[in-house]
Structure 1
Amino acid sequence: MIKHVVMFKLQDPTDENTKAAKELILAMDGKIEGLLTLEVGTNVVQSDRAYDLVLISTHTSLDDLKVYATHPLHIPVVEHMRKVCSSIVSVDYEI
């Protein structure tokens, strides 16, 4: 299995923008085959190095992660997050 972790630093991290981004990401939950779990958390400790949101997902395999990355439900989420974020970082690892 593969764990996929993405952190987002919003350009304008208001409560409204954070909530909208979280809801957009969570709208994919249960709709993409091979996406076993999807969790989105908001940062609770503010600092200069902190990010605003984190996405943590579990995929059955590296191939399923690749399917997720190009899935029609995922592409608009990626496009939106690239527009509203000043920084996005990710890591993928086997579990």
Structure 2
Amino acid sequence: MNWTSMVAIYALFWVLSAFVVLPIGLRTPDEVEGHVVEKGHATSAPVNFRPRLVAVRASILALALFGLFYVNYVEQWITVADINILGKPPVDDLGY
């Protein structure tokens, strides 16, 4: 596998992971005692958003997911033939 492909796949896993870990630990003003929502702010906006922590969590999760992907790529635990639910053979390079 090319290193550029590895970087691209890791980036895809990172974006997916960021969306997964984004809501973890967030609190709305309703959940925090004594927090007053200022005029013009949404009442559903989080009061303790920490983007650096989200990035660290996403990086760790993406690294774990990419590690599993790469080991599967090398060891061929799950192949295209394993996930072929239509029963047809995989298409070759010529499209036949």
**Range of TM-score over shorter length:** under 0.3
TM-score, length of structure 2 as denominator length:
0.27
Q: Flag the structure with larger Rg.
A: 2
Bigger relative contact order (CA 8 A; separation at least 6): 1
Q: Hey, which of these two has a bigger chunk of helix by percent? A: 2
